[in-house]
Amino acid sequence: MELPSCAWPANAPSPEAFVALVSREGARLYRDLPWRNIDDAYAVLVSEVMLQQTQVKRVLGRWERFLAKFPTPDALASASTSDVVGEWQGLGYNRRALALKRACEICSQDFGGKLPETVDELKALPGIGPATAAGVVAFAHNRPAMYLETNVRTVFLHELFPDEEAIRDKQLEPLVRATCPADNPRSWYYALLDYGAHLKATFGNASRRSAHYTRQSTFEGSRRQKRAEVVRIVLAAEGAISLEEAHSLLNSFERDHGRDGVDDDLFASIAADLEREGFFVVEDGIARA
């Protein structure tokens, strides 16, 4: 095994012992998820985007349904925004759906309806960061890539930095690269993901000791929840509703949940953000998805 360019952590298990442990535990804890062991890069991308900040159990079933409705990048690119966001409802972070659609529009226009195959080209698409791009390369093409997300981070922190705080990703990245095998990176990362999920459930989230860890804000009562409710209101109105009525319905939603109504300035700010991001257009006070 090629050692990383920086020193392997001094008091940690050897690289060989670490790889053996992860391989053994990964085999024991393997999750047979429907988006695994496939070579459809688009289907893998959809799974990676859905799994960003969303639990596996919430994605199960939704991934299959989304692909049945939008089976190819061209199909997603040509779909209406309201159809795409409507299908995404319940997964949270609706902006991911719009970014995925925009990425597919570029693939349809510039790449013949296929996803590009390199990390750098994938990262150039809307909504695709380094981990998502690396996931597509490793899982769809079974090629080595530096895939560092929360479960992978958890394993490296738990096993190699058990007593240290504020570990930066730049310390982990060469270790991730060094341990990723050339012959079957897909299975290696599945092992890391499954062992990492087990560690989080058993010992707590070691990735909180990452210098990059940010606690997710509370959803209930948040601006994010209000945004999501406005999107749901517009979609439920079959894509066209006055902003005045949407504001009234949002106020009803808030009061039903024991909160005050939303003041005019906050609602106007939320509506303007959603329009700018492409969730709907507003003409003469009517929001249309």
Q: Which residues are catalytic?
A: 48
Q: State the amino acid at position 37 in one-letter form.
A: N
Residue 148's CB is within 10 A of a number of other CB atoms, namely 22
Kindly tell me the sign of the dihedral angle through the C-alpha atoms of 34, 26, 130, 119.
negative
From residue 133, give the alpha-carbon distance in Å to each of 48, 148, 156, 198.
9, 11, 20, 24
Compute the distance between CA of residue 35 and CA of residue 139 in angstroms, rounded to an integer. 9
Contacts of 283 (CB under 8 A, 6+ apart): none
SS3 238: coil
CB atoms within 10 A of CB 250: 22
Instruction: Say if residues 109 and 74 touch (Cβ distance below 8 Å).
Output: no
Q: What is the DSSP string of 139-176?
A: HHS--------HHHHHHHHHHH-TT--SB-HHHHHHHH
288 membership: H or E segment, kind and range: strand 286-288
- The 3 state secondary structure assigned to 1-50 is CCCCCCCCCCCCCCHHHHHHHHHHHHHHCCCCCCCCCCCCHHHHHHHHHH
Q: Which of 118, 113, 201 is nearest to 154 (CA)?
A: 201
Type of residue at 6? C
